[in-house]
Amino acid sequence: MQNLEIWKFLAGLGFFLYGMGQLETVLKNVSGRSLKLFLKRNTQSLFKSIFGGALITGIVQSSSVVSLIVLAFVESGIITFRNALGVILGTNLGTTLDSWIVATIGFKLNILSYSLPVIAVTAIGMFFFENRKKLHNVFAIFFALGILFLGLGFMKEGALELVKEFDLASYTNYGILVFVLIGFVLTTIIQSSSATIAITLTAVYADVLTFQSAAAIVIGAEVGTTIKILLWGMRGSVDKKRVAWGNFMYNIFTASIALIFLHWIIYFIENTIGIKDPLIGLVFFQTAINIVSIILFIPFLNIFSKWLERKIISNGTNSNSYISKNLPILPLLAVDALRDETENLYRKTLLFNKNSLCS
């Protein structure tokens, strides 16, 4: 029976990750052009960048996807390095929306009874309307949501049985840093902080984790989600590397502040604000540490960006070309890069002809 519940939990995790991946893909494809235009219009100042990053991440529901797109925009010259840092600050806040949805809906309703009809109707709709792109995308979005909540339902039911056999509370003897490490490693492996938070909320719901231990896992997840961005940023322009390292260091800053004041933050949530539901308390904790870190970090953003510019310098490669050897994440960026490179070649040709005729 225990093996069955383990597989049920893992199958639920698989469905959740698949649903998240499908949702990210569909939303990115649907909003590709509008996403680019929105970011371009709303990254002209620091506060607009932060707001734009939070809003887009809240819609797309993946800070990793938005961060990767921002890296591509920086390399394509659409967004400046400093404004990209502002977007990165906003993405951490925007990704908490998914946690609020999971905590307030996923554990308050019998989501399996709702998700199955949604999956059935949308899967049939996708099959019959495959040639009608807009309608097919609408069905695809709700199909992904149905799969996501189906996975969450399996995780919840599996965890309720596993809690009888498995006790995470024994790890508290090793200190709170163990749970920070668990959050970091788990998020690094699956590369989805939303999935890590969903697993953590499931454990809290099943009374496997205490509020403090779960909050420590959230802290670790804040850093774990940056690893993919850091690795991706190592390939490309110097500004792309600066944004990737800036994202990593900012999340280290957020995690450090949250860890140092962990006991006080939990006391504030439980006693001052009076949130007694640990599920709501946990997502409030995640949102609060991101808001506080943004407020604390903003005054030092210019200093931080200048420090990154001094520490991460160009490797001497030609910066006069708009075409990178690295493939862009969005095909639209390739079109923009080709147009800019064509205009650049046209200007150089005119200058060459002028110099030739005048010599």
Encode pLDDT of 332-348 as tens digits: 556 666 666 677 777 77
Residue-level pLDDT at 215: 93
Looking at the structure, tell me whether residues 50 and 107 fall in a common domain: yes
Residues 16 and 129 in one domain: yes
Residue 9 lies in a domain: yes
Comparing 192-201, 249-258, 286-295, 328-337, the range with the smallest average pLDDT is: 328-337
Per the domain annotation, does 319 fall within a domain?
Answer: no
**Which residues span the domain enclosing 355?**
332-359
Give the mean pLDDT of 153-179.
66
Claim to verify: residue 346 and residue 282 sit in the same structural domain? no
> Residue 253's closest CA among 285, 289, 287, 284?
289
**What is the Cα–Cα distance from 134 to 25, expressed in whole angstroms?**
15
- Poorest-pLDDT segment among 166-170, 172-176, 221-225, 285-289: 166-170
pLDDT at 279 over 70: yes
Q: How confident is the model at residue 327 (pLDDT cuts 50, 70, 90)?
A: very low
Interacting residues of 225 by C-beta distance below 8 A, sequence separation 6+: 63, 64, 95, 187, 191, 192, 193, 251
Phi, psi of 142 (to 5 degrees): -75, -30
348 and 287 together in one domain: no
- In a shared domain, residues 337 and 259: no
pLDDT at residue 244 above 90?
A: no
Say if residue 217 is in the same domain as residue 338: no
Q: What is the spatial distance between Cα 280 and Cα 357, in angstroms, rounded to a whole number?
A: 73
Domain membership flag for residue 292: yes
| Mean pLDDT over each residue of the chain, to the nearest integer | 77
The percent of residues in the chain predicted with pLDDT above 90, rounded, is 13
- For residue 263, the model assigns a pLDDT of 92
Considering the domain boundaries, does residue 259 fall inside one?
yes
Q: Is residue 318 very low, low, confident or very high in pLDDT (cuts 50, 70, 90)?
A: very low
pLDDT category, 109, cuts 50, 70, 90? low
Residue 354 confidence (pLDDT) above 70: no
Looking at the fold, whether 69 and 110 belong to one and the same domain comes out as: yes
Q: In the predicted model, is pLDDT for residue 226 greater than 80?
A: yes
Q: Which of 181, 209, 277 is nearest to 199 (CA)?
A: 209
pLDDT at 6: 74
Per residue in 38-96, pLDDT (tens digit) is 666 666 677 778 887 787 777 666 666 677 667 766 766 667 777 888 888 888 888 78
Q: What average pLDDT does range 227-250 have in this prediction?
A: 80
Residue 27 vs residues 3, 92, 276: alpha-carbon distances, Å: 36, 18, 35
Kindly state whether residues 259 and 354 are assigned to the same domain.
no
Q: Count of CB atoms within 10 A of residue 171's CB? A: 14
Dist. CA 88–CA 229, nearest whole Å: 11
Residues 235, 304, single domain; the answer is: yes
**Which whole number is the average pLDDT over 197-213?**
84
117 or 175: whose pLDDT is higher?
Answer: 117
The count of structural domains within the chain is: 2
| pLDDT at residue 356 tops 80 | no
Q: Residue 318 falls within a domain, yes or no?
A: no
Range 232-241 average pLDDT: 74
Establish if 257 belongs to a structural domain. Answer: yes
Does residue 12 lie within any of the structural domains? Answer: yes
Return the pLDDT at 297: 87
Segment 135-158 shows an average pLDDT of 79
One domain, residues 220 and 339: no
| Shared-domain flag, residues 143 and 259 | yes
Give the DSSP letter of residue 312.
S
**Termini Cα distance of the chain:** 87
What average pLDDT does this structure show over 313-319?
56
One domain for residues 305 and 343: no
- Which pLDDT band, with edges at 50, 70 and 90, does 291 fall under? very high
